[in-house]
Structure 1
């Protein structure tokens, strides 16, 4: 029997939006650690805000789609871009 615990919203049941957002955030953290992009400082500030506000990863991704897109395009991270596109289409 598979775990059918719903995601954050009932309409997201089975889409694993939370898991996908968590994976994208892991990709962001790894990429920030390996680049000197102008986006690094921006995301450091936004991640600190996220922590202060108690927002979850899915909320962060939905709020930062354009910035994440620009960052992952700049760094050439096609896996992150694919995951971001999927999140935007199915979860945001």
Structure 2
């Protein structure tokens, strides 16, 4: 863990940055929103297709997020999930 007086910088080291844990947390938030049918429209079908693609190529959640940044921002905005949007922004800045 990084001491509190130091900031993390992905261009120097990923040490102290919880990329995988944050990615897993965001995917849990995504799946919860989808299960509650938030965001309207065809988001459920879209992400179901993308999850199948992720599984078929064996990519992890961080890779999935990196490939879906714009749709994820749009979806979480449509859901009104500012916590998920903030975590997505953090992941983008620290890990992508």
Report the TM range for the smaller structure's normalisation. 0.7 to 0.9
Tell me whether 1:86 sits opposite 2:85 in the alignment. no
In terms of Rg, which structure is larger? Answer: 2
1:20 aligned partner: 22
Could you say which residue in structure 1 is the equivalent of 2:56?
52
RMSD: 1.4
Which residue of the partner structure matches residue 7 of structure 1?
A: none
In the alignment, structure 1 segments of 5+ residues that lack a partner are: 3-9
Match of 1:5 in 2: none
- Superposed CA deviations along residues 45-90 of structure 1, whole A, max 9, x for unmatched, are 0001100110000000000000000000001001100000000011
Name whichever structure is richer in helix by fraction. 1
Give the 5 Å matches for 1:51-70. 51-70=55-74
Count of residue pairs brought into register by the alignment: 84
Deviations 1:14-73 (A, max 9, x none): 101000000000000100000162211100000011001100000000000000000000
Query: Which 4+ residue blocks in structure 1 deviate beyond 3 angstroms?
Result: none
Instruction: Calculate the TM-score normalised by the size of structure 1.
Output: 0.86
